[in-house]
Chains A and B, each alone.
Chain A
Amino acid sequence: MLRVIGLKLVRLVPVLFLVSLATFFLVDLIPGDPAANMLGTDATIEDLEAVRKSLGLDKPITDRYVDWLSGALSGDLGLSLRSPNEPVTDLIQRSVGPTLRLSAMALGMSFTIAIFLGVWSAQAAGTRVDRLVSGTMFGFISVPTFLAGLLFIFFFVFRESIPRWLWVIGMGLIVLRLLYLAISRLVEDRAHFSGWFGYAIATLVVAGLMMWVFVQWPDFPRTASHRYDDNWREQIRSLFLPALALALSEIAVFTRLLRADMLSTLQEQFVLSARAKGMPTWRILFRDALRPSSFSLITVAGITLGRLIGGTVIIETIFGLDGLGKLIVGTGVIPKNYTIVQGGVLVLAVGYVMLNAIIDISYQYLDPRIRRGRV
């Protein structure tokens, strides 16, 4: 195992070198002068020259790259070119936390909802439920993230009664359906306690959840601020809308993926055998069929997490969250603050490659055949 991990770490080196090289030279192609951006419209030519010299911008690009690389190898990613010229490592440290939290929350929401919907949809393949889920998922995929963010702001922040009552109506329909089932079972076979009692409990649980959420419905903030970093409840409230906006399309992708894999797994002999033995459906679905169906899901989830960490710039901008995406694009690329772009991209590349290495390793745990080298 250690050898596998070691090999994967060694493979990081050329990847990161190439990433840093490409980023540095690409950023240099962006038109504009960071010194002019720092000084604004009141600057004189002399001011510009002085600032360019103080930032080392008057050196050839190769010299600047070598300077940056030698610093990076010793853990120093340089200083931001924008006053107050903070160390880039400090800026990244500060920004990576909110982005990680946002990405993890989006991924968590996507997983939770997608597993439920994907399994349900596969189990009920071809039925009205399956068609409804599929149609909804296509709708989710069609909504661009920025539009979802703006819509959520409009409805959850400024028209909060609409989603609040939609929640009640949606959950109310589920409650009524469960109640109907419970009563039907009760009338059909009063003696068979487990038949109706399960539905009755489910009805109460869902009704309770519906009421609790309705009563506790939070006032969602327009901006996802850092000020709640010390309070996890406020953090969740603050990050809920941006995370949901990010999660929307991921839910759809994960659900479709899991549904397809589950459908295939449910045709396997061991599932048939389990059914023949009279195993409960929930057990077959969640304990026997879900694990072998989750390979594609985990692979895509890993890639998604990497993409989310580096690609949340639009959502971070819309919700005013000072995360890594906003740092790299807003503070780095646009004002041509190349030390931030370099440092940020390097950190993202490391995270991305490491994440995929972890996913590779996780396959061995998910499928004993891989661990034993049979596949």
Chain B
Amino acid sequence: MRSWLFRLLALLMVFGLVAAACGNDDDDGVQTAPDEPAPTQAADDGDEPAPAPSGDGEEDAAPAEPSDDGEDATPADEEAAPAEEEMTDACEATVPGTEITMGMFSETAGLDPTVSSGSGTTGMIELMSLYDTLMRYDQETKGYVPHLAEGVEPNDDLTEWTLTLRPGITFSDGTPLDTSVVQSSMERFLRDDPSVRNQSRAFVAWIEEYEIHDDLTMTFHLSRPWGTFQYALADEPGMMINPTFVEANGQEQVNLNPVGAGLGPYNIERYAPQEEIVVKAKDDYWGGPVCIETIRFVRIPGAPATYEAFQNDELDVAFLREPRVIFEARENGDGENGWTFLQNSGGTVLINNGVRGSTPPTTDVRLREAIAYALDTDVLDERANEGTGSPTSSMLSEKSLFWDDELFAPVEPDIERARQLVQEVKDETGWDGSIRMICHNAPSRIDWAIAAEALLEAAGFDVDLDNDGTVLDMVGAVLVQADFDLSCWGFNVADETPFIPLLQFHSEASNNRIGYNDPEMDAALETLAGATNNDQIQASLAEMWRVWRQSWPSVIYETTEELLIWKPNVKGIVPTQASGLMFYDAYIDEG
């Protein structure tokens, strides 16, 4: 009797539990946070209207780069609309309660454009939301388009650029955007203050004179020809700072709490370094309504954790730079909503060519060439990234806008040739084959360095590998002590501005950290500086690559890819230069 009663009751209990459990499917999906955005007024289409002509000679831009992004590309030859019409029609006013969170690659050094180091990896995206830029690089047309400016025109020898500002733009306190603001904003990069660390100061210093014609027109007189000066106006120097704010609050507050200091669509709401940056939409943005009320920029340590948070809907936008994670994201279809930024020569073996009078064995060009032949980039990628990276020994990626099979042919690995060159140097000079290589201790770099050591030793080198230290140690050894033969490095040559990062190979460049000196390379760089369109840039790069393969300043082993992904319901994000994103046109499509 007891047994039957017990079994019956137990059965009823289990049945009741299962029935109750099955009745609750409502919360199985993504949890709705208390502050989840209210529905937005979605536009008919989420795509950015065609960009305006820049008037800067970029009309003959090459076709859009191959990418796995999911945006509908705007045809480059389509008639462009006026810049004002670029702004969103996705909402009539900021939609209360809308919020997106973006997981950043690293933390910005501050909110002042002169302090932050200047790419999407380190603050560019946050700063663009606060300040906007005079020009904007359009990733669709691969050319520059006006943003705060109305246009910019060069003279014939590319040493003078005349800027015209868009009329009627004011800061929140009523201070108008005029040519004096442009001058003061740019001159901030040259002030005598150790906190000014943005590398743009190097090329702002090329502006010898600001000739102001009127409130809206001025001419920059440069100390050297520069065919893509628009780059500077689309980078941090193109971010305008309200002089009234600086006068009232001091330079330091631009870095810490720049409320009302910029012309971007957002104002700073909370800046907690090493924690988060929260920006709030302006209701008086010059470009019209800003749809998303709040953007939160956070940093989650490590690409896997960042992507997991994206998968778990804790992030709406994520910045990924780890090949394995990028591969996984693409496998999962998450790369369809996003943009891939290429950093050509992102993985490079930096070779000491004799910097600051040092005499490492690698001053002999044959050894540098031997290293290039010894390093099989596919093997290195397999070891470091499980074959998910973008290995190449060419200075450009095959996905680059400027890629050409013949002009930028990669170096084919040839271990026999490498051995021959190494032996030749040993026989001639009595060198014993020893060479020092310093890398840092990130797990993937440790794997990479061990594989590189094996490949070099197979060619006859005797490698003394130091990969115990952090990036900090490696940077110190290279920059401060110049105590290295080989080092794990990267040049990050983006398609929109190959000239600036490659300038370090100029014999007179202040950031020439390897002691490289080749007049042919100097000449190629000067040609690159004067290139005004993509055909000319491609030709200059091809010449550089030809010279490179003669003098082997360093050895390239991979292109770094940066994948910025966002949720399908986030629309209107505008990718721009230096791995930057702009949110002025962004909205949440609840449909």
Residues of A within 8 A of B (CB): 31-34, 36-48, 50-51, 53-54, 80, 82-86, 91, 94, 153, 157-158, 168, 172, 175-176, 179-180, 183-184, 187, 207, 210-211, 214-215, 217-219, 221-223, 225-227, 231, 234, 317-318, 320, 322, 327, 330-331, 334-336
Contacts and interface: CB of A to CB of B under 8 A. Distances in A.
Contacts of B1: 187
B197 A94 contact: no
A125 to B, nearest CB: 29
A31 B299 CA distance: 26
Given A44-B511, A219-B27, A322-B274, A32 B470 contact: yes
Given A32-B476, A180-B10, A207-B17, 11 more contacts: A32-B472, A33-B472, A41-B478, A42-B117, A43-B475, A47-B197, A179-B13, A187-B5, A223-B305, A227-B276, A334-B472
Top 7 closest pairs, chain A to chain B, by CB: A54-B194, A83-B109, A219-B31, A32-B472, A84-B110, A320-B300, A222-B309
Contacts of B105: none
Interface of B: 1-2, 5-6, 9-10, 13-14, 17, 20-21, 24, 27, 30-31, 33-34, 109-111, 115, 117, 122, 194-195, 197, 199, 255-256, 272-276, 296, 298-301, 305, 308-309, 311-312, 314, 469-473, 475-476, 478-480, 489-490, 510-511
A211 B20 contact: yes
Contacts of A168: 17, 21
B17 A36 contact: no
Contact of A222 (B111, B117, B314): B314
Contacts of B311: 158, 222
B394 to A, nearest CB: 21
Given A179-B6, A222-B308, A42 B110 contact: no
A322 B275 CA distance: 6
Given A41-B489, A215-B24, A48 B34 contact: no
A37 B301 CA distance: 17
A36 B476 contact: yes
B473 A31 contact: yes
B5 to A, nearest CB: 6
Contacts of B109: 38, 82-84
Given A40-B117, A45-B479, A179 B34 contact: no
Nearest to A231: B34
Contacts of B273: 80, 84, 86, 91
A155 to B, nearest CB: 13
A226 B101 CA distance: 13
B312 A157 contact: yes
B102 to A, nearest CB: 13
Contacts of B476: 31-33, 36
B256 A33 contact: no
23 contacts: A32-B472, A36-B476, A36-B480, A42-B199, A44-B511, A45-B480, A46-B510, A51-B194, A54-B195, A85-B195, A94-B272, A94-B275, A168-B17, A179-B9, A187-B2, A207-B13, A210-B17, A222-B305, A222-B311, A234-B34, A320-B299, A320-B300, A320-B309
A317 B274 CA distance: 12
A331 B299 CA distance: 13
B140 to A, nearest CB: 29
A176 B10 contact: yes
B515 to A, nearest CB: 13
Contacts of A48: 479-480
Contact of A184 (B2, B115, B299, B470): B2
A32 B27 contact: no
B31 A218 contact: yes
Contacts of A80: 273
Contact of B472 (A37, A43, A158): A37
Contact of A327 (B10, B274, B305): B274
B36 to A, nearest CB: 12
Contacts of B30: 219
Contacts of A334: 470, 472
Contacts of B272: 94, 226
A82 B106 CA distance: 13
A221 B479 contact: no
B17 A226 contact: no
Given A176-B13, A226-B276, A44 B510 contact: yes
| Most A Cβ at <10 Å: residue of B9, B30, B122, B479 | B479
B472 A91 contact: no
Contacts of A227: 276, 296
A187 B4 CA distance: 12
A132 B256 CA distance: 56
Contact of A43 (B13, B14, B27, B479): B479
Contacts of A153: 308
Contacts of B298: 223, 225, 320
B314 A225 contact: yes
Contacts of B256: 84
B127 to A, nearest CB: 13
B300 A221 contact: no
A24 B510 CA distance: 35
A36 B479 contact: yes
B489 A223 contact: no
Contacts of B470: 32, 334
B480 to A, nearest CB: 6
| Most A Cβ at <10 Å: residue of B24, B30, B489 | B24
Nearest to B313: A219
A100 B264 CA distance: 37
Nearest to B299: A320
Nearest to B31: A219
Nearest to A233: B34
| Most B Cβ at <10 Å: residue of A225, A234, A317, A336 | A225
B55 to A, nearest CB: 31
A175 B13 contact: yes
Contacts of B34: 231, 234
A157 B313 CA distance: 11
Contact of B255 (A33, A37, A84, A184): A84
Given A51-B197, A53-B194, A234-B34, A83 B305 contact: no
Contacts of A43: 197, 475, 479, 511
Contacts of B5: 183, 187
A318 B13 CA distance: 40
B274 A40 contact: no
A183 B472 contact: no
B21 A214 contact: yes
B271 to A, nearest CB: 8
A41 B106 CA distance: 15
Contacts of B2: 183-184, 187
A335 B109 CA distance: 13
Contacts of A175: 13
Contacts of B122: 40
Nearest to A322: B275
Nearest to B194: A54
A153 B305 CA distance: 10
